């Protein structure tokens, strides 16, 4: 007696994607996603930011000028945002 078997091609190996499977290696021909508007700020931008924030804390704590402390915090934020924008992917 013979048993008939349906031929479907070679068996698929587990753990190895076939050519049509999507995976990290199949992105070569895919269109690029949306570009990021901001990158990661460098380490060296944090040194002046920490100094500005300390100065803002001192000025606001001693009561000399709370408004000047708020302005210094805003300057520190603008500095980090500008640095992130300058480091974006082009």
pLDDT at residue 78 greater than cutoff 70: yes
CA distance linking residue 88 with residue 28, whole number of Å: 22
Maximum CA pair distance of the chain? 101
With residue 59 as reference, give the H or E element that holds it.
helix 46-61
Average pLDDT, the chain: 77
**pTM of the shown model:** 0.57
CA distance linking residue 67 with residue 29, whole number of Å: 53
CA distance linking residue 20 with residue 25, whole number of Å: 11
pLDDT at residue 2 greater than cutoff 60: yes
């Amino acid at each position: 007696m013979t048993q008939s078997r349906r031929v479907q091609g070679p068996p698929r190996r587990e753990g190895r994607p076939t050519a049509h499977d999507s995976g990290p290696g199949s992105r070569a021909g895919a269109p690029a996603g949306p570009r990021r508007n901001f990158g990661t700020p460098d380490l060296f931008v944090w040194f002046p930011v920490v100094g500005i924030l300390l100065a803002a804390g001192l000025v606001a704590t001693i009561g000399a000028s709370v408004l000047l402390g708020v302005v210094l915090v805003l300057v520190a934020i603008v500095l980090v945002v500008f640095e992130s924008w300058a480091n974006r992917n082009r």
